[in-house]
Amino acid sequence: MGRYLLRRLLQLVPVFIGSTFLIYWLVWSVPGDPFAGKCGERRCPDQYVAYMTEKYHLDQNVFVQYGNYMKNLLQGDFGQTFSQRDIGDIIATAYPNTLKLALVALAIEAVIGLGAGILTGLRRNGFLDNLVLVSTLFLLALPVFVVGFVLQWLLGVQWGIVKPTVSSEMRFSELIVPGFVLGSASVAYIARVARTSIAENRRADYVRTAIAKGLPMRRVVGVHLLRNSLIPVVTLLGTDLGALMGGAIVTEGIFGINGIGREVYRAIVTKESATVVGIVVVLVVVYLLMNLLVDLLYAALDPRIRYE
């Protein structure tokens, strides 16, 4: 187990370097001069451009720039944006917001998705099963921004139940609607995967044996059936956290949440490689660690799986 963990952690290093360089290089090759559009319909004074170019070493080639960036990064310095804000500060303020939102979405996803999945998996082809089938199909078909705008307009503007946007304090109660919007498509996936998995295992030998032994139904479902059926669901949930964080840009925009989505978008448009990489670095780490966690959870859920 220890060796397995070490091996997995060591694998992170090349993935980390490869992905950061790739992103740095991609943003660097976005066409356009970062200072060409900065002064409106008037070209920026040459002096300003020269000052900024020198300050950010933009006259060097991409390898030198990336090298400089990594050197600073390893010393804990994320660098500065072209607006002279510390990228470290941006990450420190924007990440917790996005993470909070993604966690709320994940919780909503798990509760609703799993609940619906279990109920329909146990009673297939009933009224409830069809209802969930249709409603998840509906959620899957709707793009996130449609769900977002409709809920914001209905709950926030028309009925006035919640405020249309999230305040700067980011209270959990305010995040329920945005969290639901962000997680809405995944709810549908989770429900469907859980339903199939449960329905399949429902007919497995060990479940039949457990029922034949006369175990109460609660125990059969809660311990034997659920635990074995959770593997695909956990995989989905685990990898989804990263996807939710990276994909929150639309939801963040609709509900005015100061998250990483807006920063990444702004940075890509203005060719700030350092900002994009800084934010994505953390995202990459989240992805890798979540994947590792999921793999470790497999062993806990299914005793047949062991790691050397």
Partner 1 sequence: MRVSKRATSAIALSAAAALVASGCSSGDGDGDAAASKDGAIVIHGVQPENPLVPSNTTETGGGKVIDWLFTGLVEYPNDGGAPRNALAESIDTKDSKVFTIKIKKGTKFHDGTEVKAKNFVDAWNWAAYSPNGAQNGSFFSDIAGFDKTYTEDPDGPDGPQKAPAPSAKELSGLKVIDEQTFEVTLAAPTAVFPTKLGYSAFMPLPDAFFTMKPEEFGKKPIGNGPVKFVSWQDNVLIKLTRFDDYSLRDKMKIKDVDVKLYQDETAAYADLLANNLDFMEVVPTSALAGDKWKTDLGDRGLNTVTPSTALIAFPIYDKRFQNPKLRRAVSLSINRQEISDKIFFGTRKPADSWANPLTPGAKPGNCTACKFDPTTAKQLLTEAGGFTGEMVFYYNSDSSHKDWMDAVAQQVKTNLGIEARAEGIPTFAVFRQNINAHKMTGPYRAAWQQDYPDVENWVNPLYVKGGSSNDGLYSNPEVDTLAKQASAAPSLEASHEAFSKVLEKVDQDVPSIPIYFYGQQSGHSEKIKKLELNNVGELDITSVEL
CA distance 251 to 244: 10
The C-alpha torsion from 175 through 180 and 185 to 190, rounded to 10°, is: 110
Instruction: Give whichever of 117 and 179 is closer to partner 1, judged by the CB atom.
Output: 179
Instruction: Give whichever of 20 and 251 is closer to partner 1, judged by the CB atom.
Output: 251
Single out the segment in contact with partner 1 by CB under 8 A; choices: 201-209, 249-257, 278-286, 289-297: 249-257
Instruction: Give whichever of 112 and 280 is closer to partner 1, judged by the CB atom.
Output: 280
CA distances from 242 to 58, 127, 145, 175 (A): 31, 34, 19, 18
Tokens 């060990």 belong to 206
State the Cα angle at 289 between 281 and 98, rounded to 5°.
60
Contact residue for partner 1 among 27, 49, 175, 182 (CB under 8 A): 49
Binding mask 191-210 for partner 1 (x = CB under 8 A): --------------------
Q: Which tokens belong to 60? A: 């060097």
Selection from 256, 258, 253, 276 nearest residue 266 by Cα? 276
Exposed, middle or buried, 36 (CB in 10 Å: 0-12/13-18/19+)? exposed
Contact residue for partner 1 among 262, 294, 297, 301 (CB under 8 A): 262
Tokens 């509900």 belong to 255
CA distance 290 to 284: 10
39 binds partner 1 (CB under 8 A): yes
Contact residue for partner 1 among 4, 19, 44, 135 (CB under 8 A): 44
Total H helices, total E strands in the chain: 14, 0
57 binds partner 1 (CB under 8 A): no
Cβ(55)–Cβ(272) below 8 Å: no
Instruction: Give whichever of 46 and 205 is closer to partner 1, judged by the CB atom.
Output: 46
Single out the segment in contact with partner 1 by CB under 8 A; choices: 37-45, 220-228, 235-243, 272-280: 37-45
Which residues 154-173 are close enough to bind partner 1 by CB under 8 A? 156-157, 160, 163-165, 168
Minimum Å gap between C-beta 271 and partner 1 is 7
Contact residue for partner 1 among 8, 12, 21, 53 (CB under 8 A): 53
- Interface residues with partner 1 (CB under 8 A) are 31-34, 36-53, 83-85, 89-90, 93-94, 149, 152-153, 156-157, 160, 163-165, 168, 252-256, 258, 262-263, 269-271
